[in-house]
Chains A and B, each alone.
Chain A
């Protein structure tokens, strides 16, 4: 019994210590000029869908739920966001080459179409990020139109 007590106390102490190691927060404030909605004409409805379903991991501004203050959840989240932003950053869309923009629009289209994004681990908690059929249709329609309007090889 004494031994279990020591082990448990050690684990608890460890848990307390890791709370001190906090990842940098992904919060830069305003949406920049290079945001996708500034680069391409985007109806507010579409913008709203992207914001609620994608921006937490794919922009420079994350809305953090309270439990991300608990480590290691916060660490895990930080890694997710960093991977997400590297793959696609809505806020930095204007910094991509035209070719990359077109390719990214296609990838977003594919991900939404086959429901690989938003991640199911994300929509589990963020219920409103789960796209309805109508929302999906709206976004897909916009993505396709926008992608078709971009021509390479000018």
Chain B
């Protein structure tokens, strides 16, 4: 009988341990690719990637304001824009670049959406994302003038880049602690 009670206690303990740890696992939710072109993405011929880029800019501005919640929202906006993206508007060369960046951009956007509460991690993904969006904007073009900015101080002076819609520097990596650190490196059209 003693053994019975012991084993039962043990089993309930395991169950409890399981549910506790289960909640801490990072469920990197794989967003489903329900590709429809009905999403409200401005798809003019001149700038087919505007939906994605606008989502990125929304994210950038959230990080400038140190707002992890708004950043998470913007990550979700980007995911929607990616799923709604119409590749048929692209030339073969443009499609090649798009196909190259699509996977990583989706991944970064999903991680940023899932990491509300951890703005540090959101910024890490934002750094890689910025390179992808830069390559996309270069290849596909943009409907608006954009600025490619560089901050030399982020990540222990390793530095990082981002894209902005305004010429004035608004740093998304250091946020309110150092809003005007950085300089414009390139203008994109």
Contact = CB atoms under 8 A, between A and B. Distances in A.
Given A14-B11, A153-B135, A83 B103 contact: no
B16 to A, nearest CB: 10
Interface in A78-108: 79-80, 83, 86-87, 97, 99-100, 103, 106-107
Main secondary structure of the interface of B (DSSP, over half): helix
A113 B41 CA distance: 38
A7 to B, nearest CB: 9
B12 A11 contact: yes
B8 interface: yes
B101 interface: yes
A121 interface: yes
A8 interface: yes
B103 A100 contact: yes
A99 B26 contact: no
A86 B28 contact: yes
B107 interface: yes
B11 A11 contact: yes
A8 B100 contact: no
Contacts of B101: 99
Contact of A99 (B24, B30, B127, B132): B132
Contact of A79 (B14, B22, B104): B22
B8 A83 contact: no
Interface string B3-21: 0110110111011011001
Given A72-B15, A152-B135, A110 B21 contact: no
Contact of B27 (A71, A72, A73, A83): A83
B13 to A, nearest CB: 10
Nearest to A101: B104
B15 A107 contact: no
A99 B100 contact: yes
A75 interface: yes
Interface of A: 8-9, 11-12, 14-15, 70-73, 75-76, 79-80, 83, 86-87, 97, 99-100, 103, 106-107, 110, 121, 152-153
6 contacts: A8-B4, A75-B18, A79-B22, A79-B25, A99-B104, A153-B135
Interface of B: 4-5, 7-8, 10-12, 14-15, 17-18, 21-22, 24-28, 30, 100-101, 103-104, 107-108, 124, 127-128, 131-132, 135
